[in-house]
Structure 1
Amino acid sequence: MITLHALKFSRATRVLWLLEDLGQTCKRVDYDRTSKFRAPEELSEVHPLGKSPVIEDRGEMIAESATILRYLAAKYGDESHQPPRGTPAFWRHEALFDYVESTFAGVAMQSIMPAFQGKDAPDQAKAALDKHLAYISSELGDGPLLFGERLMLADIQISYILSLLAKFDLLAEHPKVSAYWQALQTQPGYIAATDAAGPMAPPN
């Protein structure tokens, strides 16, 4: 059985979500955040960078949520969370999937981190975030999800960043993305994962 090292209020919920969708169980090891909302020192004993999520499977240690989601899809032969391989839709999906952490997360965090401290984001950070949220709006097309009605790995991947933006009302000027976040929260795997491990974003 896979062991999932899961920090509270973190990207680890993405992994639980996919496992729920696939009907697979795991041994979950939970870690509470420190008073400064940091990962505890115990996670450094699991991964040198103190990262979460991390999974262990048959002696292998795998980090990075995108890699973990791809690993689980491959391990369980899942083809329902990606378009058919080799199609234009497949490569569009791969680009959006990697975009979340390689580009979007860094931009979003420039507005999220000040919000955690009760401050407004700098104008430059807010402008950059608005540009990316407009891009996501355009990628949603007719919605409600990135690829219509069918949930993809990219949808699961983007959910954590959207949960933080929504917490601080940073989606208010982008109703299409806000509606997308609402649609994600109705997905059975999301509901099961958050029922099991708590919300993605920390409570107020």
Structure 2
Amino acid sequence: MLTIHHLRISQSERIVWLCEELGVEYDLKLYNRDSETRLAPPELKALHPMEIAPVITDGDLVLGESGAIMDYIVGKYAPGTDLVPGADNPDFARHLYWYHFANATLMTNGMMSIAVNAVGAQMPPPLAKRITNAWAHIEKALGEAKYFGGANFTSADIMLGFSLTTARAFSDMSIEGMPNLQAYLQRIGARPAYQAAMAKAEPGFPPKLD
């Protein structure tokens, strides 16, 4: 049985959302953060050497890393799904770009901000510009297509979702003046699978959609 080990208020919400979109059956185990460190509790850390979420177990398999987990679930449980455009799809390259942008750029920017703030430092101008560029890039892209993967909703949208929603609840990042992103998040929030995923993964925590 596929089991998603979800650390509350973390990027592992992506995996719950993916399974809801695909209609894949799964068991969900929720873990609360340590009240002092705000990190994963010992029982979640014991699952994987990196001691972070997301983690899934599937029989004897223990797998971490959002991208690897999403590719595994799609490949094993939903091959050929429309959530992943094929090479003959005109949106193939666009989907790939944003699917990888999510962790390679946007999550990296977020972690840099957390690290700088943690030591009470000022963000160096080159890094601040990198963050500004990323959000401007997002706003422009959503003015060109309805979804990050192009005309249709894809797993790129799921991969980006955490940084655009839940992560902003714990920062001063505002999306005021980003009408394309604001409209996009309303579309995402209206999806039944997203609503179901957030109700299961984050009970009592309203999605950050504005």
TM-score tier (shorter)? 0.7 to 0.9
What stretches of structure 2 of length at least 5 have no aligned partner? none
- Tell me what 1:94 maps to: 96
Deviates more, 1:127-136 or 1:102-111: 102-111
What stretches of structure 1 of length at least 5 have no aligned partner? none
Deviates more, 1:152-161 or 1:60-69: 60-69
Partner SS, residue 46 of structure 1: coil
Distance 1:100 1:120, change over 3 A: same
Partner SS, residue 67 of structure 2: helix
1:1-204 aligned within 5 A = 1-35=1-35, 36-76=37-77, 77-111=79-113, 122=123, 124=125, 125-148=127-150, 150-163=152-165, 164-165=167-168, 168-198=172-202, 199=205
Identity %: 29
Shift in Å at residue 103 of structure 1? 1.4
Cα distance in 2, alignment partners of residues 74 and 158 from structure 1: 20
Distance 1:166 1:176, change over 3 A: farther
Cα distance in 1, alignment partners of residues 45 and 186 from structure 2: 34
Shift in Å at residue 172 of structure 1? 2.0
| Alignment-mate amino acid for residue 80 of structure 1 | D
Deviations 1:8-63 (A, max 9, x none): 01111111111111112211121100123211122221001112111111311111
Shift in Å at residue 91 of structure 1? 2.3
What's the TM-score once normalised by structure 1's chain length? Answer: 0.84
What's the TM-score once normalised by structure 2's chain length? Answer: 0.82
| Alignment-mate amino acid for residue 162 of structure 1 | L
Partner SS, residue 19 of structure 1: helix
RMSD of equivalent CA atoms: 2.6
| Alignment-mate amino acid for residue 3 of structure 1 | T
| Paired residues, number | 200
